[in-house]
Amino acid sequence: MTLWWNGALVADGAARIDPADRGFTLGDGLFETLRVAEGVPRHLARHLARLRAGAALLDLPMPWTDAELSDAMAALLAAEARADGSLRLTVTRGPAARGVLPPASPNPSLLITGGGLPPDGPVHAVVATVTRRNEHSPLSRLKTLNYLDAILARQEAARRGADDALLLNGAGRLAEATAANLFVRCRDRLLTPPVAEGCLPGIGRALILETHPVEERPLTLADLAEADEAVLSNSLGLRALVTVDGRPVGDGHPGPFLASLLARAPGG
């Protein structure tokens, strides 16, 4: 396996992360996961724009141009001869002395890795009871290196025999799944929680909003119980949500909304 680590391609065994790197010690960093199709990262400009917006909010320097990041990804894809799959771009604030306050002049770290695609097919989910999304935190809108809420929820799902978990926000309304946005179809209406409810502004989510007449509004578990269909979306693909807590969503099978999404964006 080959990696891009701070300016060069290296074998994974040769990459050394500084023990003082704040990404490792404090989760002080961001990441983006991109789908690769025919050797090209999909929606690259959108991913880099979101990464830069998150870095600006965290006051995390981004010393690389978009062209440099694109070239690094292309070099890694060529080195791995990867035509289809995924890329993960990780940026940390870099090594620093102990303490919460970041250093005045950080030296950010950049790691890019390649990988495959997650499973597809219908999803059986539960509603997480161990944690909730904090819709009041600006971090709910960023892909930070701290994914512990999602980890707790996914562990709960596994214990309960499910594929994934839906996360409620502090008000008890639906926010998202552990790594995907939520859409529901209620008869002739397409609905999704707004970002203010604690969901990540996903790239796949934005593409769906641009191509389908989706209404952004708060959603409750009662709304989900009445839904005819539910879909989970992220940058790696689309999946039907067919059961929640053991109860079917609609007729418990993928529906026409998912079919329409796949028809517009084959391959995810």
Q: Report CA torsion sign: 215, 221, 224, 225.
A: negative
Axis-axis angle for helices 44-58, 203-211 (nearest 10)? 120
How many Cβ atoms are within 10 Å of 123's Cβ, its own excluded? 23
- Counting Cα atoms < 13 Å in the Cβ hemisphere of 182 gives 35
Same CATH topology for 2-115 and 123-264? no
Query: Distance between CA atoms of 58 and 93, rounded to whole angstroms?
Result: 10
Is the CB of residue 232 less than 8 Å from the CB of residue 121? no
The whole-model pTM stands at 0.95
pLDDT in tens, the chain (268 residues): 899 999 999 998 888 899 999 999 999 999 999 999 999 999 999 999 999 999 999 999 999 999 999 999 999 999 999 999 999 999 999 999 999 999 999 999 999 999 999 999 999 999 999 999 999 999 999 999 999 999 999 999 999 999 999 999 999 999 999 999 999 999 989 999 999 999 999 999 999 999 999 999 999 999 999 999 999 999 999 999 999 999 999 999 999 999 999 987 644 3
Alpha carbon distance, N-terminus to C-terminus of the chain: 25
Which residues share a beta bridge with 33? 88
- For residue 265, the model assigns a pLDDT of 66
Tokens of 202: 């996903």
DSSP string, 3-33: EEETTEEEEGGG----TTBHHHHH--EEEEE
- CA 225 to chain CA centroid, Å, is 25
In a 10 Å sphere around its CB, with 0-12 CB exposed, 13-18 middle and 19+ buried, how is residue 22 labelled? buried
Contacts of 101 (CB under 8 A, 6+ apart): none
| CATH annotation of 123-264 | 3.20.10.10
Pairwise CA distance, residues 67 & 61, whole Å: 16
Q: What is the rounded CA–CA span in Å between residue 154 and residue 177?
A: 9
Q: Are 156 and 177 in contact (CB under 8 A)?
A: no
Whole-number pLDDT of residue 268: 38
CATH topology of domain 2-115: D-amino Acid Aminotransferase; Chain A, domain 1 (3.30.470)
**Is the backbone of residue 211 left (phi > 0), alpha (psi -120 to 50) or beta?**
alpha
Tell me the domain boundaries of the chain. 2-115, 123-264
